[in-house]
């Protein structure tokens, strides 16, 4: 047998053993379209600004810190996370303003916008992992069963990492009438899991599609992709703009800070609300996730200043994915909001709010179930934009 035949047989054998959750790599016409993308060069998708996509520094040092017993304790709640108890009943009533946002945990958000229901990055699985027995486990339950959520017009996926693209959730939604808006290449995974091709809207950056009366636009982000043994960088990552007849929203997906937020804001903003990633950051990967301070900077870039719609911090509180303390993203967001006089919403998982309301959820609810930082919690005070004062909050840690 020739070496090439042996290699193909080995590759085929390994592929047959890989978990279904790995999905599928783009091929055929989909791969041809990827190769024609202006954002694809040298065999992979490229970031809008240079970014290190692998951990920077000593992985041995990172592993020692990450797995140390006392460090693990800091990265998890000390009690039961207070999931909102009446999500189902609250969602049964139409939003008064025409726009309502419900953070389901991590980056999963239901946006009810001008009569259309848009679900971002739905992850209802118990672990963000290809395996049911290993990988980061939920720190709180989903606020309500996926089947109880009711009809969803559009599911929006930011990229194909496990904490944003959850195979069991997608398979459940594949049996509904929802349309899926995804970045270029990600459709291969969804088709592999049973989503019909005619219910896919697969977009490159700056491309738009219209579904059920809302316009969805894939916008740049600074991140990376991949979920199998081979990370071919053949699936794109994106942030998203969704505009209805009266309202518009922005969802960051996963991203490092980059100057392009100003361009997105100038073209599509300001927004009635921004949903911004502020968790799972680390000095080991500074280019592909934002700190709370960077997240607030992105929000202000998108909005053109603090006077526009509020920011909802996402990508925190649900999975343990980084070395920082569990409450640190929430505390850091409060600090950044006070410094900039920006409005923020701090709902419990499952707590709906209307961004245009005079009063937003602003209680620092995580403090009741988090390890108290050395020296105690800073003074509570008011959150910026809702009776803010000049008290400065130091990030817990």
Kindly report the pTM of this predicted structure. 0.91
SS (HEC) of the chain: CCHHHHHHHHHHHHHHHCCHHHCCCCCHHHHHHHHHCCCEECCEECCCCCCCCCCCCCHHHHHHHHHCHHHHHHCCCCCCCCCCCCHHHHHCCCCCCCEEEEEEECCEEEEEECCEEEEECCCCCCECCCCCCCCCECCCCCCCCHHHHCCCCEEECCCCCCCCCCHHHHHHHCCCCCEEEEECCCHHHHHHCCCCHHHEEEECCCCEEEECCEEEEEECCCCCCCCCCCCCCCCCCCEEEEECCCCEEEECCCCCCCCHHHHHHHHHCCCCEEEEECCCCCCCCCCCCCCHHHHHHHHHHHHCCCCCCCEEEECCCCCCCCCCCCCHHHHHHHHHHHHHCCCECCCCCCCEECCCCCCCCCCCHHHHHCCCCCCCCCCCCCCCCCCCCCCCCCCCC
Reading the chain (397 residues) residue by residue, the pLDDT tens digits are 444 444 444 444 445 557 899 999 999 999 999 999 999 999 999 999 988 877 766 666 666 666 666 667 788 999 999 999 999 999 999 999 999 999 999 999 999 999 999 999 999 999 999 998 999 999 999 999 999 999 999 999 999 999 999 999 999 999 999 999 999 999 999 999 999 999 999 999 999 999 999 999 999 999 999 887 665 678 999 999 999 999 999 999 999 999 999 999 999 999 999 999 999 999 989 999 999 999 999 999 999 999 999 999 999 999 999 999 999 999 999 999 999 999 999 999 999 999 999 999 999 999 999 999 888 888 765 555 443 333 332 233 3
């Amino acid at each position: 047998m020739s070496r090439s035949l042996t290699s193909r047989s080995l590759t085929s054998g390994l592929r047959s053993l890989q978990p279904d959750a790995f999905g599928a790599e783009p091929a055929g016409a989909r791969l041809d379209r990827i190769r024609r993308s202006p954002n694809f060069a040298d065999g992979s998708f490229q970031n809008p600004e240079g970014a290190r996509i692998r951990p920077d520094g000593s992985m041995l040092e990172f592993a020692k810190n990450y797995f140390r017993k006392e460090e693990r304790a800091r990265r998890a709640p000390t009690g039961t996370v207070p999931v909102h108890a009446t999500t189902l009943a609250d969602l049964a009533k139409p939003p008064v303003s025409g726009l309502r946002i419900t953070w389901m945990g991590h980056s999963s958000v239901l946006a009810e916008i001008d009569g259309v229901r848009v679900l971002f990055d739905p992850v209802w699985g118990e672990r963000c992992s290809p395996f049911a027995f290993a990988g980061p486990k939920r720190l709180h339950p989903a606020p309500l069963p996926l089947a109880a959520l009711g009809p969803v017009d559009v599911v929006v996926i930011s990229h194909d990492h496990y904490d944003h693209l959850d195979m069991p959730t997608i398979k459940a939604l594949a049996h509904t009438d929802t349309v899926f808006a995804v970045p270029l290449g990600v459709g291969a995974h969804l088709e592999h899991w049973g989503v019909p091709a005619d219910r896919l809207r697969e977009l490159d950056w700056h491309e738009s599609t219209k579904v059920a009366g809302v316009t969805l636009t894939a916008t740049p982000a600074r991140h990376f992709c991949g979920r199998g043994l081979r990370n071919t960088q053949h699936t794109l990552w994106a942030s998203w703009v969704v505009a209805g007849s009266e309202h518009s929203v922005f969802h960051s997906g996963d991203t490092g800070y980059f100057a392009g937020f100003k361009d997105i804001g100038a073209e599509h903003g300001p927004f009635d609300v921004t949903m911004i990633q502020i968790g799972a950051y680390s000095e080991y990967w500074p280019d592909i996730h934002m700190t709370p301070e960077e997240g607030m900077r992105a929000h202000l870039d998108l909005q053109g200043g603090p006077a526009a719609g509020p920011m909802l911090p996402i990508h925190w509180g649900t999975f343990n994915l980084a070395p920082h303390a569990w409450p640190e993203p929430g505390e850091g967001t409060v600090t950044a909001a006070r410094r900039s006089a920006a409005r923020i919403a701090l709902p419990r998982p499952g707590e709906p709010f209307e961004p245009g309301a005079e009063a937003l959820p602003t209680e620092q609810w995580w403090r009741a179930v988090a390890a108290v930082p050395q020296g105690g919690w800073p003074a509570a005070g008011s959150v910026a934009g809702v009776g803010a004062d000049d008290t400065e909050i130091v990030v817990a840690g």
